[in-house]
């Protein structure tokens, strides 16, 4: 079997950009993939156009070898744009392999380890009575993990961290009081805070209010997370922007966080995601897959989650 064509489909769904790709073969089998890096699709398309030149005529069943070639075949290795392109290609190759062999992709990853994939729901309203009501409705509907957004999340002009902290923390305390101890609660700050601001936010709430805080600060400097780790006991969920196992390395090996927000469409597809999953298992870091995109990302995330412990 040989790869004969790779087509890119940049689309806008609601307010989010998505990039789907279709890899075709000479046996009529095709695979779908999706890239992350939402908002930079044209850059990713440029990388895929480059990779297409030496993928045509190659065997799609050799996904692991092709991953290494895509990542290492230029002087400047990796990076978020290239990894997003590799992710889409790798996911499509696994789709082709599963179809060619007549098995679900999770069988290619070691087989299914669970029949149900736990997930969380987000209460979209900013902190206030409406947020509490949304969370109660989610809890009544059976959701056992609920994520919140901070005050100012939907601001269209600017975000003021200290204002957000002051207005968000009391409503997190209120959410815990209303929802009780059994539901897991988290909040996603989308790396809008500094170390001092994130510490101040966490310290304004009693211990046990939150089960995780997602992306409180930017991730370029692991030592900043090490400093924040010393200032709060709230578990950290990070990694949705990480584009390789090497970017996860210092966080996993230094025990800086508790949840890996691995995004299969950013990290390098199934080939790289499974390596990060094994590494996480060895260090007792839980996987919290990140899936903000479209149906291909959703399907790939389900197969990944089904096949890891």
The one catalytic residue in 50, 190, 257, 303 is 190
Q: Which two tokens stand for residue 40?
A: 């930079």
Confirm whether 290 is a catalytic residue: yes
Residue 16 pLDDT: 84
Residue 14 pLDDT: 80
Residue 49 pLDDT: 96
Please give the model's pTM, rounded to 2 decimal places.
0.95
Residue 154 pLDDT: 77
Element (H, E) at 132: helix 129-140
Residue 174 pLDDT: 98
Residue 76 pLDDT: 85
Task: Map 55-117 to HEC letters.
Answer: HCCCCCCCHHHHHHHHHHCCCCCCCHHHHHHHHHHHHHHHHHHHHHHCCCHHHHCCCCCCCCC
Residues in Cβ contact with 308 at an 8 Å cutoff, skipping those fewer than 6 apart? 109, 113, 274, 277, 281, 287
Confirm whether 257 is a catalytic residue: no
Give pLDDT < 50 ranges for the chain. none
């Amino acid at each position: 079997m040989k790869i004969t064509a790779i087509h890119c489909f940049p689309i806008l769904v609601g307010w989010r950009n998505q990039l789907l790709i279709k890899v075709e073969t000479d046996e009529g089998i095709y695979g779908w993939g999706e890239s992350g890096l939402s908002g930079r699709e044209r850059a990713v398309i440029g990388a895929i156009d480059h990779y297409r030149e030496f993928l045509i005529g190659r065997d799609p069943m050799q996904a692991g070898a092709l991953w290494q070639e895509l990542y290492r075949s230029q002087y400047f290795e990796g990076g978020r744009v290239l990894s997003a392109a590799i992710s889409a290609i790798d996911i499509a190759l696994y789709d082709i392999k599963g179809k060619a062999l007549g098995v679900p992709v999770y069988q290619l990853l070691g087989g299914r380890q669970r029949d149900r994939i736990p997930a969380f729901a987000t209460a979209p309203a900013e902190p206030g009575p409406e947020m509490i009501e949304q969370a109660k409705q989610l809890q009544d509907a059976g959701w056992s993990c609920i994520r919140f957004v901070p005050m100012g999340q939907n601001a269209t002009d600017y975000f003021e961290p200290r204002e957000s902290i002051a207005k968000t923390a009391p409503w997190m305390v209120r959410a815990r009081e209303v929802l009780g101890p059994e539901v897991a609660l988290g909040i996603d700050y989308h790396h809008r805070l500094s170390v001092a601001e994130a510490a101040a936010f966490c310290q304004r709430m009693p211990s046990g209010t939150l089960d995780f805080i997602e992306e409180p600060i930017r991730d370029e400097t692991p030592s900043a997370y090490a400093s924040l780790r010393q200032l709060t006991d709230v578990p950290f969920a990070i990694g949705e922007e990480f584009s390789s196992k090497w970017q996860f390395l210092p966080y996993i090996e230094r025990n800086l966080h508790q949840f890996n927000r691995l995004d299969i469409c950013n990290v390098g597809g199934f080939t790289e995601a499974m390596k990060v999953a094994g590494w996480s298992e060895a260090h007792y870091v839980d996987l919290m897959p990140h899936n903000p995109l479209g149906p291909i990302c959703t399907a790939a995330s389900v197969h990944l989650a089904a096949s890891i412990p």
